[in-house]
Amino acid sequence: MSTQVRGRIITAEKVLPHAEISFDESGILSIEELDPAAAPPEQPTIIPGFVDLHNHGGKGGSFPTGSLADCRRAAEYHRSQGTTTMLASLVSGNERELTHQVERLKELVGEGLIHGIHLEGPFINAARCGAQSPDRIQPGDPEMFRRIIEAGQGNIRQITLAPETEHVGELLEICARFGIIAGFGHTEADYDTTLAALGKAAELGVRTTATHLFNAMPQIHHRTPGAAAALLSAGGTATGLELIADGVHLAAGTVDLVFALAGERAYAVTDAMEATGLPDGSYQLGPLEVVLKGGVARLATAQGSGALAGGTSTLARQFHHFRRRHDGPAAVRFTATNAAAVLDLVGEVGDLRPGLRANLVQLNPQGEVERVYMESMLWEGSHSTS
């Protein structure tokens, strides 16, 4: 039996002022344009499910340290906010910590709550640790990486590396063997070192991204362009560009500049942590204490608040803010389509057209999430209905 949903439909290419999308368990069957004059005054907006490749948790659940129930709660919260494809992100840890959490999170992959796992570290630069514990960061260790991959049983999709870490070439060879995306970030690397790492990855056929571009790396200077400029230019590669477009980590103008320069490669991520969806207070990011005040999460330090400690937005919120400055299709590409391309899922998710999975988000006229359809089913927490 098929399901029909009507409203203003926004795809990666166009806006249909009034249309009907039909789908069944096999996916999207058709999208039919209707007479705009017949549209109700308060019709909903239908967009593709969001794709988030960098997310540490939410609603009190932390992917880096939480129990299985905690992690499930975090994943379900983001699903309820319209994110239908997501990587659960860890932070730097020792081998025991990472292996334990990878083994836990693979259960959520099996349940269909997350698409895979993202290791944000530990092979990054402690000088740019951001909201990560410096004592958990270490030089590149290929054997350790292999053992963590083995524990993940094929569910590790991405790792964040500093281009200057030891044995980066061998780490990239391992990424190539296991189909793991290499995200470059938390780095002090100069322009040439970063381009060399990008070139090596391209030579090996490894897909690459910039982990939260501009954050946790030196800023661009006209005489020392650094990693940020190298990742933007990408040496002719199709490197994806993560942007935490929450208005806290990056100014709107910075986001718009990157989208203007490299729109097909730029995509929004939340970098959400466990406080997402919760009121101000004290929380954790990995082993570190975080204070949430005014919706902004920062490390708790003896001197007061420290570095930004992950995000507290959802992609639904980022879509809403981005759409104020851009057209609807651009907002869809920024929050769904471009990230789906990084995951090599262009023919499956990230857009609305016949043949794709029926992952849809229904927004009310205020831009708030009303309904989420996941794999053709209406999402209702741990229970979904057709």
Catalytic residue, from 70, 190, 271, 351: name it.
271
Catalytic residue list contains 327: no
Tell whether 309 is in a known binding site.
Answer: yes
Tell whether 215 is in a known binding site.
Answer: yes
Helices (H) and strands (E) in the chain, counts: 10, 22
Tell whether 321 is in a known binding site.
Answer: no
**Coil, strand or helix at 249:** coil
CA angle at 348 for the pair 347 and 350, rounded to the nearest 5°: 95
Chain centroid to Cα 85, Å, comes to 9
Tell whether 308 is in a known binding site.
Answer: yes
Residue 41: count other Cβ atoms within 10 Å of its Cβ.
5
Tell whether 302 is in a known binding site.
Answer: no
In the DSSP assignment, the letter for residue 96 is H
Tell whether 78 is in a known binding site.
Answer: no
59: left (phi over 0), alpha (psi -120 to 50) or beta: left
Tell whether 131 is in a known binding site.
Answer: yes
Look up tokens 């500093």; give the residue. 162
What tokens were used for 12?
């990666």
Residue 210: count other Cβ atoms within 10 Å of its Cβ.
29
Q: Are strands 3-10 and 240-243 parallel, antiparallel or unpaired?
A: unpaired
Tell whether 32 is in a known binding site.
Answer: no
Torsion angle, alpha carbons of 331, 344, 63, 302, to 10: -60
Nearest to 81 by CA among 108, 105, 111, 49: 49
Q: Are strands 61-62 and 57-58 parallel, antiparallel or unpaired?
A: antiparallel
**Coil, strand or helix at 226:** helix
**Coil, strand or helix at 297:** strand
Tell whether 120 is in a known binding site.
Answer: yes
Catalytic residues: 271
Binding-site residues for Zn(2+) sit at 120, 186, 212
Annotated binding site for substrate: 131, 215-216, 223, 249, 308-310
Residues tagged in the binding site annotation: 120, 131, 186, 212, 215-216, 223, 249, 308-310
